[in-house]
Amino acid sequence: MWDLSGKAALVTGANTGIGQGIALALADAGADIAAVGRSAATETVQQVRAMGRKAEMVMADLSSIEPVQRVVDETVDKLGGVDILVNNAGIIRRNDAIDFTEADWDVVLDTNLKSLFFLCQAAGRKMIATHRADGRIGKIINIASMLTFQGGIRVPSYTASKSGVGGLTKLLANEWALKGVCVNAIAPGYIATNNTVALQKDEIRNRQILDRIPAGRWGDPADIGGAAVFLASSASDYVQGHILAVDGGWLAR
């Protein structure tokens, strides 16, 4: 049920951190990988190929929807199809709500929500056209956030975008469940990546975070990868519109 052999997975933001962890986990389960990003995912591709899987880089800046159709078409051309889509690419801007700029609002919503939706649309069209005919099930996994559930502070556009990711995940599941596509999301907790180095090195803030996490540790990108394998595999064929928190118990505290 967990075997992804012969599956083609498109993973955005796959060059580092959570995206890389997901790409490597999917490859370890048997999938071939299209690693999408505005910077080259050379290390990810090398590691996937070392596992004996196909791996291709697809260069794209997802701050606009201009490259979306090309990203899906290149994945199909290079890997022979698209069975799994992981929408991981995202950005954040921080400022007090009273001082937040329109530019910081737009760039985050465009990347985190608008491009995500249109990637779902482009990949969903392929999956519905090809998978329904032969009985296979396409898998779309959106990366949500703790701020899909919580408000946060000083990140209004990020909170709005990730709340939107949760809503879109449910909407698409409602529309596409009968069309052979499962749509779910993963909400990572505090994960040790290059994006969180400053928090990890801040002794006071790091202690505050760890005190809140029942598991008593930061998450690892591999923790998110394991959840992605579940949602990408046939083990989750009856899971639809779910937002899976992988947070060491943060939300339960």
Q: Could you tell me the pLDDT band of residue 134, with boundaries at 50, 70 and 90?
A: confident
Closest CA to 74 of 102, 40, 33: 33
What is the pLDDT at residue 195?
80
CA distance 73 to 67: 10
Contact 72, 129 (CB under 8 A): no
118, 158, 190, 250: which is the annotated catalytic residue?
A: 158
Domains of the chain as residue ranges with CATH: 8-248 (3.40.50.720)
Residues 142-165 have a mean pLDDT of 97
CB of 89 within 8 A of CB of 111? Answer: yes
| CB of 45 closer than 8 Å to CB of 55 | yes
The whole-angstrom separation of Cα 57 and Cα 17 is 16
**Closest alpha carbon to 85 in 15, 34, 16, 146:** 34
pTM of the model: 0.97
Q: pLDDT confidence of 133, banded at 50, 70, 90? A: low
The model's pLDDT over 59-106, given as tens digits with 9 standing for 90+, comes to 999 999 999 999 999 999 999 999 999 999 999 999 999 999 999 999
Position 132 pLDDT exceeds 80: no
Distance of CA 66 to the CA centre of its chain: 19
Cβ of 154: how many Cβ atoms within 10 Å? 14
Residue 131's pLDDT is what? Answer: 64
| DSSP track, 120-136 | HHHHHHHHHHHHHHHT-
Q: Is 190 a catalytic residue?
A: no
Tell me what the mean pLDDT of segment 165-171 comes to: 98
